[in-house]
Structure 1
Amino acid sequence: MGGKMESVKMKSVKRNTLANQAIDQIIDLLMSEQLKAGDKLPSEMELMDILRISRPVLREALGSLETLGVIHRKTKEGTFFSEKVGSEPFRLMLALSVGNIDTIIETRLSNELGLVGLAAERISEMELKKLKENIDQMEAVDGDYLDIDREFHRIIAFSASNSITEGMIDPILNMYDKTMENIPLKKRNKEKTVQQHKAIYHALEKRDPIEAYASMYRHLDHARNRVIRPLEKEELNMNKGVR
């Protein structure tokens, strides 16, 4: 470990915004490929010496990185870079868009259209079986089906086998579900959703990325129109009432 730390190159930080600069320097260990995901960071004493900062400043920087899911600490073992991208950074960013329905739905649209194309190339037989079971479950349920709907999209997202998009999908779906919770169940169309899920499933089963893309677009565009237009109309009517 000592020999490895001798080869680590980092710049000392200036007095202003010390914690932020320390964060930048620690992240640069990944960017410069001196360390990789899952690797152990230098000890606190080593980092303090390399960066020329105090323990409180270093702990502030490490605390911020831990909150973002970039690092994690193991008792008696030390601090490690996370193995893959987590959902926390995306959850925090999306929190800034609460209430902006257009932005949330457009983010989901751009994310999932790319994912379903990759899924058509990579989805396994086991994942296809899970999708089929999910559709059967949605058809049979009597009541709210948001959780089942969400799981359908998660299966597709994870079948794309991309660690970055895996970290993004849950915060996006969470934010979308919060919007859908405001739509009464009687105003949703489960039969239409099941029909569109089946179209996506069959495209994936055929390993056809173009058909999968088109089917997913039709599904999410239908959802966008079902959510945005009624809410915009409702808001417009409320504004007229205020006047």
Structure 2
Amino acid sequence: MDETPKKIKVDSVNRNTLSKQVVENIIQLLVSGQMKPGEKLPTEMELMEILNVSRPVLREALSSLESLGVIHRKTREGTFFNNKISSHPFSIMLSLAHDNLQALVEARMALELGLITMAAEKISDEELKRLKQTIDEIANNKDSNYSEADLEFHRIIALSANNPIVEGMIDTLIVTLVKINSEIKFREPERTIQHHTAIYQALEKRDPFEAFHQMFLHLDYVRHKVLKEYPKMPPLDK
């Protein structure tokens, strides 16, 4: 009788998976109502015991939550949920999906396409001037290192929508942009300038329909470029 042990195969639990689980569990404290915005979290030792994880895993999770604006740390006082979490409705969802690039790209599209139509009706002459300056910065950049100017272009548009309800979402949008930009392996300044100029001209005409159209063309181009290159995602058909 063959008593050779049966070989089994299971996926190992890596540190990133544990860290994400910790993020989800801490956020659940808010979702379930066990804790409220502004309240102090248990100490690191208490959280390690409650969650049954090591200090490096816990600290990695806390760093993720802090970078997303869900928590903040006070020297000698501890770690607290932010008081204004309710004004950042996407922060929690972003923290849960921070490694899902496709979800981040789609969330960016949904938010920016809404903001651009409001911006077309509200953007000021001064904001248009600053928008044009970012395009000039990209055109004058010699080494294709223009991510800051690119980021500022989108930030100006988002803020020009001038809506207090969506204002809290803009910080989350910027975090999303930084993540997406970090995945771009090569830059095409000519294409960026072309897209940004078309968006600028639509905003200058105060045309929300054209502004929406040009922003969609730009974001759709970025979506295909980023996800096609992203190793965890299957190539997209054009």
Class of the TM-score when normalised by the shorter of the 2 chains: 0.5 to 0.7
Distance (whole Å) between structure 2 residues aligned to residue 211 and residue 172 of structure 1: 22
TM-score with structure 1 setting the length: 0.60
Larger radius of gyration: 1
Q: Deviations over 1:121-159 (max 9, x none)?
A: 000111011101111111111231111111100100110
Task: Kindly report the root-mean-square deviation, in angstroms, between the aligned alpha carbons of the 2 structures.
Answer: 2.8
User: Kindly tell me: are residues 207 and 99 of structure 1, through their superposed partners in 2, closer, same or farther at Cα, counting changes over 3 Å?
Assistant: same
Residue 171 of structure 1 is matched in structure 2 by 172
Q: How many correspondences in the alignment?
A: 164
**Aligned-partner residue type, residue 160 of structure 2:** S
Residue 74 of structure 1 is matched in structure 2 by none
Distance (whole Å) between structure 2 residues aligned to residue 141 and residue 134 of structure 1: 11
User: Kindly tell me: are residues 236 and 154 of structure 1, through their superposed partners in 2, closer, same or farther at Cα, counting changes over 3 Å?
Assistant: closer
* 2:230 partner SS: helix
What is the Cα deviation at residue 171 of structure 1?
1.6
Residue 226 of structure 2 is matched in structure 1 by 227
CA contact (8 A) 1:154 1:170 kept: no
Residue 158 of structure 2 is matched in structure 1 by 157
Distance (whole Å) between structure 2 residues aligned to residue 22 and residue 103 of structure 1: 28
Distance (whole Å) between structure 1 residues aligned to residue 83 and residue 214 of structure 2: 34
In the alignment, structure 1 residue 126 sits paired with structure 2 residue 88: no
CA contact (8 A) 2:108 2:173 kept: yes
Residue 82 of structure 2 is matched in structure 1 by 68
TM-score with structure 2 setting the length: 0.61
Q: Deviations over 1:194-232 (max 9, x none)?
A: 110000000000000000000000000000011001225
CA contact (8 A) 1:123 1:204 kept: yes
Distance (whole Å) between structure 2 residues aligned to residue 203 and residue 236 of structure 1: 34
What is the Cα deviation at residue 23 of structure 1?
4.5
Q: 1:92-241 counterparts in 2 under 5 A?
A: 92-143=92-143, 144-184=145-185, 187-232=186-231
Runs of 4 or more consecutive aligned structure 1 residues displaced over 2 Å after TM superposition: 19-24, 66-71, 89-93, 234-237
> Gapped runs of 5+ residues in structure 2?
1-29, 38-77
Distance (whole Å) between structure 1 residues aligned to residue 108 and residue 174 of structure 2: 8
* 1:161 partner SS: coil
Distance (whole Å) between structure 2 residues aligned to residue 236 and residue 220 of structure 1: 19
**Identical positions, percent:** 43
Residue 20 of structure 1 is matched in structure 2 by 33
Structure with the higher fraction of residues in helix conformation: 1
CA contact (8 A) 1:94 1:172 kept: no
What is the Cα deviation at residue 174 of structure 1?
1.6
Q: 1:73-84 counterparts in 2 under 5 A?
A: none
